[in-house]
Structure 1
Amino acid sequence: MEDLFNLLYSNGALLVMWSALLCHLILPFPREAHPAILWHKFAELLAQKVNTNNSYSQSILSGSLAWLLMIVPMVAVIFALKPLVWQPQLFELAFLLLAIDWRNTDKFSAQFVTALAREDKEQAKMLLKPVVNRSTESLSLLGLGKAGTETLIMSYGRNVFGVLFWYGIGGGVAAFVYRMAVELARAWSPSRVQFSPFGIPAIRIVALLDFIPLRLLALMVAIGNKSRAVMTLIKQQAASWPLPGPSWLLVSVGAKLELSLGGPAIYDGKKSVRAKLGGRIAPSALHMAQVQKLLAWRMLAWILIQSALMAAVYQGI
């Protein structure tokens, strides 16, 4: 026990990660008060001002410049503030706390599973609406099960696993910038007509940032029971989804639990054709609880793996 304490204390990055996880689990940010919500709203206001071109190339250029306008000043302010902080570890801790969102993911899962189990469609729609871009008004219980399961998977993948991965690469600032980039991609998602093609640069950047962490999580999900079947289905289905990281993760979880994911979705009243992923079982409240359990255990395993890797790097192994 003393050796573990000495390792955490001597390794500042490892101490920050475990401290952030502990603080987040004890005192999480309410979703409504999270800086990502304000960031998301500001991104939508900016898009209203600059997303006015009808030309494809001009919209792409506007989207690229708008992304830079959001990210570059934020990064500049962060690095300008860093020398003013008396303890660098506290600086990293603050930004990792702002980036990670595990408790709200679990809270959404628990509330949504309860609503599905009661067949309370209105409650389920109310819970789902703030966290997705798709239209929820016409969703049946089957559609709500699929949408809720996909949302839970991607929330674990990005708001927890992706944040921890990028923390390991570049510290708390990298984790925070990744989280803000994800919020920009969601705010300007080209799946909605008004942000196509304006939001394509933002979604491509996040696709690049997601490429390694989400595929790594997909491989961790595949390990164990049905691993060969999961890998086979990834090879067969992943290419049919537009984003490589999310495709691997969705297929991996769907194949592991034989759940049917993907399929058509409605955005701003217009039907979008999406590939079907995973197995054949329509997700219900029970299946969504199984997804949450599966991913939570994979998160715990990754925390231990990342801790060992960070300790090894720090000791020069």
Structure 2
Amino acid sequence: MLLVSCLLLALLLDLLFQEPARYHPLVGFGNLASWLEKQLNSDSVKREAGCLKGRFYGLVAWCLAVVPLTLLFFWLESLIADSEALQLLLGGLMLYLAVGWQSLLSHGLAIAKPLAAGRLDDARQAVGMIVSRDTRELGEHDIGSAATESMLENGADAIFSAIFWFCLLGIPGVVLYRLSNTLDAMWGYKNERYLQFGWAAARIDDLLNFIPARLTALSYALMGQTRIAFAAWRQQAGNWKSPNAGPVMAAGAGAINVSLGGAAVYHGQLQQRPQLGPETGDSAGAESIRNACTLVNRVLLLWVFVILIAGLIMALAPSITARGVSL
């Protein structure tokens, strides 16, 4: 039941305080990652596109950034193994720092409100804070599509993957995941600067998200319009450029019956992206953003319930086994 208590504490802290506005540990980690990248991703490495040198230095940088901190928290967890109170406090705090539940919802609603009121400039500014595509010329549908896609994809990245790794490997697991995911966000771009150097960070993040992304997609389907979600997942997930975002976004779009994907401008270049969700689904807009937020909340409730039941079963199993042996 300690695992359940840590999860509930983390969600309570997130509900009350959201992400720390100042002095978030990930800011310091980001500064460390930027310094490492400047030291190891030299001009000569960038110029030698396609060689193993850039990938090797990127892997070294990833190891220097992630491994020592993960081992540190592995040691700390073993140090407090005899105190459930300290495990609860440290586990709840670290999971709270890794989960961006209320922050994600706040960003979504900050886009949906001005979009519903017809204040497109405010909506463009708000959506520009959470997506990498160009937002200056986006219309109502495009803003709604960008925000809805972000809510669905980041539901997996910011919430459910972190919970999965905490359940699987405890405090070191969630530290490993969150630091790796942060490096992917910083280094995982396919441009001249990061194409080789960021390869390891992107591939490791893909690996860490592989199972939780599919659990998220399954959860989206179960908590939404299940038949449409499974059909979209089966038909569209493989068309998406990301092996993990595809299942999550396809199933999520089907679950809320919205049509996503299509053209978008990234760094001045127009990209035609595959269809997500049913072609005859609802048009993206303020309502689809709210629906995506509601879906994330439903899935979070489902995960808490499943983890709680699993915790109760594990807690009762020894006494049931002992009773069976005595009989």
- Judge same fold: TM > 0.5, yes or no: yes
Superposed counterparts of 1:83-162, under 5 Å:
87-162=86-161
Structure 2 counterpart of 1:278: 277
**Cα shift at 1:193:** 4.6
Supply the distance in 1 between the matched residues of 2:123 and 2:197 (Cα, whole angstroms).
Answer: 31
Percent identical among aligned pairs is 25
Q: Does structure 1 retain, via aligned residues, the 8 Å contact 2:223–2:298?
A: no
Structure 2 runs not aligned, ≥5 long: 319-327
Alignment pair present for 1:51 and 2:41: yes
Which TM-score applies when normalising by structure 1? 0.87
Alignment pair present for 1:14 and 2:4: yes
**Cα shift at 1:142:** 2.4
Aligned length: 307
Q: Which moved more, 1:202-211 or 1:115-124?
A: 115-124
The structure that has the greater radius of gyration is: 2
Superposed counterparts of 1:1-317, under 5 Å:
11-31=1-21, 33-52=23-42, 53=45, 54-55=47-48, 56=50, 57-82=52-77, 87-223=86-222, 226-280=225-279, 281-316=282-317
Q: Does structure 1 retain, via aligned residues, the 8 Å contact 2:258–2:277?
A: yes
Q: Does structure 2 retain, via aligned residues, the 8 Å contact 1:146–1:262?
A: yes
Deviations 1:154-211 (A, max 9, x none): 2211211111111111113312321221111111122445322322221211111111
**Cα shift at 1:290:** 1.2
Q: Which moved more, 1:263-272 or 1:158-167?
A: 263-272
Amino acid in structure 1 at the alignment position of 2:197 = F
Which TM-score applies when normalising by structure 2? 0.84
Structure 1 runs not aligned, ≥5 long: 1-10
Deviations 1:274-304 (A, max 9, x none): 3222223431001111111122112101111
Aligned with 2:197: secondary structure?
coil
Supply the distance in 2 between the matched residues of 1:123 and 1:50 (Cα, whole angstroms).
Answer: 39
Aligned with 1:147: secondary structure?
helix
Change (3 A) 1:201 1:309: same
**Cα shift at 1:76:** 3.0
**Cα shift at 1:215:** 0.9
Structure 1 counterpart of 2:324: none
Q: Does structure 2 retain, via aligned residues, the 8 Å contact 1:14–1:311?
A: no
Q: Does structure 1 retain, via aligned residues, the 8 Å contact 2:229–2:254?
A: yes
Deviations 1:125-147 (A, max 9, x none): 33233333333333333222111
Amino acid in structure 2 at the alignment position of 1:313 = M
Supply the distance in 2 between the matched residues of 1:44 and 1:265 (Cα, whole angstroms).
Answer: 28
Q: Does structure 1 retain, via aligned residues, the 8 Å contact 2:224–2:256?
A: no
Change (3 A) 1:33 1:282: farther
Structure 2 counterpart of 1:8: none
What's the Cα RMSD here?
Answer: 2.4
Supply the distance in 2 between the matched residues of 1:287 and 1:18 (Cα, whole angstroms).
Answer: 28
Aligned with 1:263: secondary structure?
strand
